[in-house]
Structure 1
Amino acid sequence: MPAELLLGIDLGAGSLKATLIRTDGTVAGEASAAVTTLSPHPGWSEQDPAGWWAALTDAVPRAIAASGEQAGAILAISFSAGAHTQVLEDADGRVIRPAILWNDQRSAVETAELRAGHDARILEHGANRANPTWTLPQMLWLRRREPEAFARVRRMYLAKDWLRTRLTGGFETDTIDALGALMVDAATKTWSPELCGLIGWDMSTLPPIVEPTARAGAVTEAAAKVTGLVAGTPVICGTSDTAIETFGAGMVETGLGCVKLATAATVSVLSREPRVDRELINYYHVVPDHWYVITATNSCASAHRWLRDTLFPGESFAALDALATEAPRGSKGLLFHPYLNGERSPYWDPKLRADFVGLSFAHGRGEIVRALYEGIAYSLRDCTEVLRGRGLNFTTARITGGGARSATWRQIVADVLDATIELPATADASFGAALLAGVGIGVWPDPVTAAKQAVRIVARQQPDAEAVAAYDKGFRLYRQAQAALAPINHALVEAAR
């Protein structure tokens, strides 16, 4: 029998990954290519979209080669990328400036002004509150700080859509990614004149909105020549990375959580309705007529990489994981707050900063690494407490992201959250995008069926009662230290400016 494959392409913060899966959900081949993040000023985070396309044309042919199959075996393609990241083109189709990423903090002033003047209306219409990671305040920053660029915009793409249109020539986005721009009326799934009007945005620049599973064209002859794909291959719209990761992890039933240990870390739960709240993030889900509700911490794998590059240069992540595994629970009284780029849930404070608290001569390399693992888990506990306080509880959660490869880190998360943590065989965004491609062309009749048939659990960490009790005490100290240090963080940020 000839092979039948589905291709998922995910643009991450540090790399683009292409994954080919078979229609039983097993991985046939995969490849990734690095993308570069620019930070020309403190708190800025930008990427050149041309680098994304270069990464795609590198990774896709290598993923096909790794599968041992021909490109003609690919039934359909779909995409994902981080939410909120926009690409702006002028009348000639040229990219105007680097894309501002979701973790960029430059629009803190604009965010404060939007909250001061329009907080209730933005929350009512957009189901979310303005903060510096969203497109709305970022584009208000652009209007004020780069007015010539603002005036030249004729098309605004979201990141995965700009990549997809390189394959198809189309111009559309999906409901979930559109909501992430904070420029959509959540009740009607249409662009909101009121929200766009708050920043003077020309609505003619915005793409049509379709469902994530909608067909968005096919691979063109020109794109086929540079990607190794076959012209005419169907392309499914796709959606944002966290939506696709929760789907790819099998979070398709209410009461099941999902924890992501990626560049940032998130805690998500599935809900039949949005939970409009100043401390929560709401998105439509891939599962029809459902939402997923998120709380998030800004720095996770990014903090892990910072630690490795700064204090352990030349060492592998596996070596760091071994150090953390050998270190004792509680890291001999060492705490870490992972606020290297400010913080989202539950503080929504771009002026918070990271720290190690309690260092002494008793601490070695292992305690430092384990404290980072535990500190990020405590931050996830902070996020989880917000959800549980609103009745969005879970006792089992699927785990995704690069950090999920560490059994030690998974166990720490299970103990700190007091929840069973399940690891899917493959649950990154490119896998979820490949599943979505299958739903889009009818390999599976709906997302729930796709997840139930294709997602396999390969490891499970149960919370240990003794560890849960110890980490409860540690979490109280973590919060006390955060509260005590917050005003000092603010003063340090102002002094640095």
Structure 2
Amino acid sequence: MADLLVGIDLGAGSLKTSVIRADGTLVAEAAAAIATSAPHPGWSEQDPRDWWRAVCETVPRALAAAAGAGTVAGISFSAGAHTQVLEDADGHIIRPAILWNDQRSGAETRELREQADARILEIGANRANPTWTLPQMLWLRRHEPEAFARVRRLYVAKDWLRAQLTGTWETDLIDAVGTLMADTRTGSWSEELCAMIGWPLDTLPPIVASKAVVGRVTAAAARATGVAEGTPVVCGTSDTAVETYGAGMTSEGLGVIKLATAATVSVLSRHPRPDFKVINYPHVMPDHWYVIAATNSCASAHKWLRDTFFLHAGDDSGGVFTRMDALAGNVAPGSEGLFFHPYLNGERSPHWDPLLRADYVGIGFNHGPGHFVRALYEGISYSLRDCLIALRGQGLDFTTARLTGGGARSPLWRQIVADVLNVEVEVPAVADASFGAALLAGVGVGVYADEHDAARAIKVVSRLVPDPERAALYARGHVIYGDIQAALAPLNHRIHDFVSGR
């Protein structure tokens, strides 16, 4: 009986394959690292062929671990929004994929805002910023015109990976909206938005439902991955969409906080909330949108701190994270006046400023290694509080949030999030995008009756409540955190000019 579901998620630093049963039990998983290159400051690129290599490595491993558990009923994909793969007329990749966290298109973003800020928000339900495909492709037109002219097909990241299995070309509405080249009012590509950057509409894929079966595993893909030829493949969607769905965000009033490469705060809404401070996407749940506020650096900042100051030759990298957590646990809440702002790669909500820089402020002789770790946990949590405030400005709120992402593995960090945001936190049994993608595959192939039926497989394993005294302390600390950000922002811009030689 075909009763296993496979979800494949492309993250910023790794690709993960998960195999689950219909009851939500995780049967097997496998991950492989993905290299990111930064040829210039602020750039972030990957070679899509590395993604496919990771699929061909992780899928056979996961299937081998699941041997005897059943056969695969369906498979689906997710990946970060905005990231694009460009192919020429011969199907060759033109250049490395520009990632969602790339900041090169700052000048193009400013130009689009100056010329059509309100109109882009009206059509696309979001504001132009360097994260989105629209300004990135304007940068490509300006700086790599030969590459721009060669484009015959644009794939969003998960769609290119899926095409290696099926040979088909399509995307879903959620990822189409993530390019900032779609009309959210009609659910189709926007001729007006594309015309702003001179982008030809015929290079954009057909738009289908996220749960649509778009093809079947080809013979060549079966040989490469071990998935049986003919297995149905479901379109899939962006990582945050399936991650929030897989965490159980199926009704309004429950939030999801993701502590991953970046950090996000998400909540469901019956309609988009176009505003300069938040991000809007259609959701996996029918007739719903999800509204996001996001901070650019989270687990990536945690890893940076580890690699820069705590990791030594011969160390087990996972063990170092455990040691860092223990050091931070011995430090009092508030880190004895040490503050951290996680702007290692500019910032999104609520500042939308690619020139902001990270900092530690308030350092004294009393501060040791544990203070710097705890201040990082607190600083990212303060940034998440900024995000929650931005959502509340749209009339959206929650008192309970599901916590996802690699940072959620830290019990200390989980509690700090609960205390700083002053909300109850729940931890799902499985909380990542590959799990959500597997659920979506099940909806698409009919293992589940619908999205609500699939959500019954989601389980919560622990709950944390905020401590009133710590919540009050952090409310005071957040005010100082915000004042430091406001005071340093002009200096951050001057530092950028200094580094740029202006």
TM-score by length of 2: 0.97
Alignment of 1:153-302 (within 5 A): 153-302=151-300
Aligned letter for 1:468?
A
Looking at structure 1, the residues matched to 15 and 394 of structure 2 have their Cα atoms a distance apart, in angstroms, of 36
Counterpart for residue 419 of structure 2: 415
Letter in 2 for 1:140: L
1:100-156 deviation per Cα after TM superposition (whole angstroms, max 9, x unaligned): 000000000000000000111100000000000000000000000000000000000
Residue 487 of structure 1 corresponds to: 490
Distance in 2, Cα, partners of 1:448 & 1:311? 45
Structure 1: distance between partners of 2:306 and 2:397: 34
Q: Which amino acid aligns with 2:379?
A: G
Q: Does 1:23 align with 2:22?
A: yes
Are residue 109 (structure 1) and residue 112 (structure 2) matched?
no
Equivalent-residue separation in structure 2 for 1:218 and 1:350 (angstroms)? 41
CA contact (8 A) 1:265 1:300 kept: yes
Matched, 1:456 2:459: yes
**Pairing of 1:363-378 with structure 2 (within 5 A):** 363-378=367-382
Shift of 1:3: 6.7
In structure 2, runs of 5+ residues without a counterpart are: none
Paired with 2:386 and 2:216, the residues of 1 have a C-alpha distance of: 44
Residue type matched to 2:86 in 1? L
CA distance in 2: counterparts of 1:192 and 1:88, whole angstroms: 19
Aligned partners of 1:81 and 1:239 also within 8 Å: yes
- Distance, in Å, in 2 between the alignment partners of 1:131 and 1:100 is 14
Matched letter for residue 413 of structure 1: V
Give the Cα separation in 1 of the matches to 2:418 and 2:66: 35
Q: What is the identity, as a one-letter code, of the residue corresponding to 2:258?
A: K
Secondary structure in 1 aligned to 2:81?
A: coil
Task: Name the CA distance, whole Å, in 1 between partners of 2:142 and 2:332.
Answer: 51
Q: Which of 82, 87, 102 is the equivalent residue of 1:89?
A: 87
Q: Is 1:446 equivalent to 2:450 in the alignment? A: yes
- Offset, 1:65: 1.3
Q: Does 1:32 align with 2:36?
A: no
One-letter amino acid of the counterpart of residue 362, structure 2: G
CA distance in structure 2 between the aligned counterparts of 1:22 and 1:84, rounded to whole angstroms: 30
Q: Deviations over 1:260-309 (max 9, x none)?
A: 00000000000001101111100000000000000000000000000000
Q: Percent identity?
A: 67
Q: Distance in 2 between matches of 1:68 and 1:422?
A: 32
SS at match of 2:390: helix
| Aligned counterparts of 1:7 and 1:324: Cα–Cα separation in 2 | 37
CA contact (8 A) 1:421 1:460 kept: yes
Whichever residue aligns with residue 389 of structure 1, its letter is G
- Shift in Å at residue 252 of structure 1? 0.4
TM superposition shift of 1:313: 1.3
Secondary structure at 2:475's aligned position in 1? Answer: helix
- Pick which of 320-329 and 153-162 moved more: 320-329
Aligned ranges for residues 323-338 of structure 1 at < 5 Å?
Answer: 323-338=327-342
Contact persistence 2:2–2:73 (CA under 8 A): no
- Could you tell me whether the CA contact under 8 Å between 1:3 and 1:69 is conserved in 2? no
What is the aligned-residue RMSD (CA, Å)? 0.9
Pairing 1:342-421 to 2, within 5 Å after superposition: 342-421=346-425
How far, CA to CA, are the matches of 2:294 and 2:189 in structure 1?
25
Matched, 1:141 2:139: yes
Distance in 2 of aligned mates of 1:371 and 1:341 = 18
104, 118, 121: which is aligned to 1:120?
A: 118
Distance 1:136 1:248 in 2: 29
Counterpart CA distance in 2 for 1:227 and 1:182 is: 33
Q: Describe the superposition over 1:350-386 as per-residue Cα deviations: whole angstroms up to 9, x where unpaired.
A: 1100000001110011111000000000000011111
Tell me the amino acid that sits aligned with residue 255 of structure 1: G
- Give 2:53's aligned residue: 54
Counterpart of 1:299 in 2: which secondary structure? coil
| TM-score when normalising by structure 1 | 0.98
Give, as a single letter, the amino acid of the residue that structure 2 aligns with 1:321: D
Query: Which letter does structure 2 place at the counterpart of 1:4?
Result: D
